[in-house]
């Protein structure tokens, strides 16, 4: 496991939950001591076969009370939902070290997951019904160690999400368009779902687009195994969009070094392979756009529970050398920015309104290609 890269991903979660001052002053070793699970690994079996038929198995889906994915920031307008069905995998929210996999009924993890869904999955609620499953996610500390238990924890989380995806497909109308999206650990887990359950299957023709946000994707070593290309046109369908947001000056050296040392989905070393950089302001892989092209950044409150839409606040430029999405000077989004000017927790809010437009445009293109209105 790419320890240095996963430090960057995992440390973000702590920052996003108010521990930024601690992490700025203490070492990685102390962080690892504080968060890597202490207990014996629990070899958890699969969830009950009917688990994802229950309302309590979902953070969001039609009929869920107080659905966080239906949140709208101040200044955003609710529009009639589109025809697509959205499957969204949320990022890590389990920070305790009691288990290698977060129990689904853990109250703290559920609270944090709901916040992430409000800020991220809400960007997709104009596309159609949004489904966000609960799953036994790999613990925060699993991203801080190379111990074999960490890989096993990720496998358990992957099994849950694969089961949830099967239930999602069974619950939505046959032939309906689908959108697959996630962030951080959620995006990582979706890679295998796309490999195992989408590539080469009839369902692949129903995919409007895939948004693997906050996780590096190699166009050479990862995308071919998904059977998809990056989104090179604003109206392209069946493609992948992925980005990682950094303000300037950015320091992503440790993340990049570790990521390049790891094999891609094809099992080959990534080496100096490029990272897929999708620009939400242009709707294409690569490119530069000024702040005037940003129709609405969702600037959250400090507790991430509310916020407002601010237009023309943040530019975006895909850096050809690193594959990072550069934001220019550090925008004022809140206190949860990772050292190195890493805006990981704000990957979606930075471009919340443009992402909604991007999804709607691809949805319309998919419908048109199918001869549907």
Confidence band of 12 (pLDDT split at 50, 70, 90): very low
> Which neighbouring-strand residues pair with 133?
58
**262-271, 277-286, 302-311: range with highest mean pLDDT:** 277-286
Q: Rounded distance, CA 70 to CA 119, Å?
A: 10
Confidence band of 14 (pLDDT split at 50, 70, 90): very low
Q: How confident is the model over 101-158, as pLDDT tens digits?
A: 889 999 999 999 999 999 999 999 999 999 999 999 988 767 667 777 888 898 999 9
Per-residue exposure over 233-259, b if at least 16 CB sit within 10 Å of its own CB, e if not: eeebbbbbbbbbbbbeebebebbbebb
188 has a pLDDT exceeding 70: yes
**3-12, 140-149, 236-245: range with highest mean pLDDT:** 236-245
300 Rama sector, left if φ>0, alpha if ψ -120 to 50, beta otherwise: beta
Angle formed at CA 16 by CA 13 and CA 21, multiple of 5 degrees:
100
Q: What pLDDT is stored for residue 189 in this prediction?
A: 92
Domain count, the chain: 1
For 61-76, what is the mean pLDDT?
A: 95
The reported pTM is 0.90
For 254-266, what is the mean pLDDT?
A: 72
Structure tokens at 209: 């687009």
Q: Are 84 and 363 in contact (CB under 8 A)?
A: yes
Q: Are 130 and 61 in contact (CB under 8 A)?
A: yes
Domain containing 364 equals 3-369
64 has a pLDDT exceeding 90: yes
Q: Are 207 and 262 in contact (CB under 8 A)?
A: no
Torsion sign (Cα): 98, 103, 109, 113: positive
CA-nearest of 85, 239, 52, 69 to 161 is 52
Q: Are 136 and 157 in contact (CB under 8 A)?
A: yes
Q: How many CB atoms lie within 10 A of CB 22?
A: 13
Residue in this structure with the two tokens 């069974």, named with its chain if needed? 170
Residue 344: how many CA atoms within 13 Å on its side-chain side? 30
Q: What pLDDT is stored for residue 41 in this prediction?
A: 67
Long-range CB pairs of 12-15, under 8 A, 24+ apart, other chains included: 12/184, 12/336, 12/338, 12/342, 12/344, 12/345, 13/91, 13/92, 13/93, 13/95, 13/140, 13/184, 13/345, 14/95, 14/140, 15/336, 15/337, 15/338, 15/345
343 has a pLDDT exceeding 50: yes
Q: Rounded distance, CA 135 to CA 12, Å?
A: 20
């Amino acid at each position: 496991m790419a320890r240095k890269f996963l430090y960057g991903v995992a440390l973000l979660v702590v920052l996003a939950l108010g521990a930024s001052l601690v992490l700025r002053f203490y070492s990685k070793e102390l962080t690892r001591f504080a968060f890597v699970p202490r207990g014996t690994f629990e070899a958890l079996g699969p969830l009950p076969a009917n688990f994802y038929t229950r309302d309590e198995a979902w953070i969001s889906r039609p009929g869920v009370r107080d659905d966080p994915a239906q949140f709208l920031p101040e200044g955003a307008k609710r529009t009639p939902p589109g025809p697509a069905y959205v499957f969204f995998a949320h990022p890590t929210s389990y920070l305790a070290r009691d288990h290698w996999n977060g129990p689904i009924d853990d109250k703290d993890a559920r609270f944090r997951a709901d916040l992430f869904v409000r800020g991220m999955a809400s960007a997709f609620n104009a596309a159609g019904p949004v489904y966000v499953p609960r799953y036994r996610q790999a613990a925060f500390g699993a991203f801080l160690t190379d111990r074999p238990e960490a890989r096993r924890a990720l496998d358990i989380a992957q099994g849950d999400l694969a089961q949830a995806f099967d239930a999602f497909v069974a619950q939505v109308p046959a032939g309906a368009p689908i959108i697959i999206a996630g962030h951080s650990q959620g995006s990582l887990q979706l890679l295998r779902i796309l490999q195992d359950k989408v590539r080469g299957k009839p369902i692949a023709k129903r995919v409007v687009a895939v948004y693997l946000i906050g996780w590096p994707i190699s166009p050479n070593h990862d995308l071919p195994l998904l059977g998809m290309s990056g989104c090179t046109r604003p109206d392209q369908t069946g493609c992948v969009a992925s980005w990682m947001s950094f303000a300037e000056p950015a320091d992503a050296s440790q993340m990049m070094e570790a990521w390049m040392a790891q094999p891609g989905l094809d099992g080959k070393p990534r080496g100096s392979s490029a990272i897929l950089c999708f620009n939400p302001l242009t709707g294409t892989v690569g490119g530069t756009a000024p702040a005037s092209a940003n129709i609405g950044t969702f600037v959250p409150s400090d507790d991430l529970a509310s916020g407002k839409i601010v237009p023309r606040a943040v530019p975006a430029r895909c850096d050809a050398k690193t594959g990072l999405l550069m934001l220019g000077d550090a925008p004022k989004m809140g206190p949860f920015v990772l050292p190195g000017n890493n805006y990981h927790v704000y990957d979606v809010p930075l471009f919340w309104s443009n992402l909604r437009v991007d999804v709607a445009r691809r949805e319309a293109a998919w419908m048109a290609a199918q001869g549907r209105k």
